[in-house]
Chain A
Amino acid sequence: MPKATNADDSDAPDGVQIDLISGERMDGMATMEKIRMILDGVHDGNIVILEEGLTPDEESRLIEVTMAEISPDEFNGIEIETYPKSETRDSSLLGRIMGGDETEAKLTVIGPANQIETLHKDETLISALVSRN
């Protein structure tokens, strides 16, 4: 499965890589493909930014898979922030049948918990302070 990053670790500069993943790239991916792409990036120490967020079901599975991959002294989980969903989203049964269950989140930021010092969100800004350790 292709990873979101093409960086070669041996040539990687001392810094934090940010993967900005377009909605187009996520289109047509199965839930587990999306989760694998996100977690592969985070395992590499990258900050992953999704142009379009995840559905509630995908968020639930992301938490489940993240928990399964936590390992002492190696990976202790993720930090995640998402802008709130649109106030106008249609949550009716008809709306969901017609595709309203799809995500309408604007942006999701996901990063490794041991590198993100703070991840703050307000109405219009998600701000991450990332350490390089």
Chain B
Amino acid sequence: MGLFTELKDSISRATDRLFSEQEPKRIGIYGPPNAGKTTLANRIARDWTGDAVGAESHVPHETRRARRKENVEIERNGKTVTIDIVDTPGVTTKVDYEEFTDEMEKDDAIRRSREATEGVAEAMHWLREDVDGVIYVLDSAEDPITQVNTMLIGIIESRDLPVLIFANKIDLDESSVKRIEDAFPQHKTVPLSAKEGENMDEVYDNIAEYFG
């Protein structure tokens, strides 16, 4: 093969890689602490790969580092979409180690809060640099109109990232999907219970449609 042909093939391969439709999209799972992000990430990962992403807990900031599950192939209506799921720590503007001292010793609580702050900073950085789309998870039993949610949705919109809002925990009596739809009417809201596996078909249909 001549030098010119080799060069042309090399450029072609690089271009193909750059613009490949097959390249998995990095989908960040964002939202406030305890909205059920890791439970959802685990549900998706288990349904399509058989493996979990990370530990789940009722203690805030259980997820303190972004965790990625690569090459999750979701098949919907004869079409396969491949995504990398990035489970992120719950975004907040404050972290107080004393929140955890009921559950653990002071040293462990301080370590946990340090890891949580580093994780949130990392998640914000990733949002600016490293995700192709966002699944924004909200606890449908809680008021969605908080400053953090409004800021995060605004940041996501300003970056023109495709976003799906998931109204999680519809198994709870206090759940109100309408409250979330009314808070963010500019985005599609999908109700679900990641814990109970309710409405996951609609979840996967929407993931395939938005991020495929």
- Stretch from A5-13, A20-28, A44-52, A68-76 that touches the partner: A68-76
Q: A76-B96, A113-B94 are in contact. Are A56 and B124 (CB under 8 A)?
A: no
Judging by beta carbons under 8 Å apart, are A57 and B158 in contact? yes
Contact indicator per residue, chain A 89-133, by CB within 8 Å of chain B (1) or not (0): 001000000000100000000000110000101000000000000
Residues of A within 8 A of B121 (CB): 63-65, 67-68
Q: Give the distance to chain B from A67, nearest Cβ to Cβ, in Å.
A: 4
Give the tally of cross-chain contacts (CB within 8 A).
78
When C-beta atoms are compared, the residue in chain A nearest to B156 turns out to be A56
Whether A84 sits at the interface, judged by CB under 8 Å, is: yes
Q: Which of A76, A78, A79 has the most chain B CB atoms closer than 10 A to its own CB?
A: A76
Q: Give the distance to chain B from A63, nearest Cβ to Cβ, in Å.
A: 5
Interface size of B by CB at 8 A reads 26
Contact partner, B150, options A66, A70, A84, Cβ 8 Å: A84
Judging by beta carbons under 8 Å apart, are A77 and B94 in contact? yes
Interface size of A by CB at 8 A reads 29
When C-beta atoms are compared, the residue in chain B nearest to A119 turns out to be B147
Contact partner, A77, options B93, B110, B124, Cβ 8 Å: B93
Whether A85 sits at the interface, judged by CB under 8 Å, is: yes
When C-beta atoms are compared, the residue in chain B nearest to A114 turns out to be B96
Residues of A within 8 A of B94 (CB): 66, 70, 76-79, 113
Interface residues of A (CB under 8 A from B): 55-57, 59-61, 63-68, 70, 72, 76-82, 84-85, 91, 101, 113-114, 119, 121
6 contacts between A and B (CB under 8 A): A59-B155, A64-B120, A64-B121, A67-B118, A76-B96, A79-B94
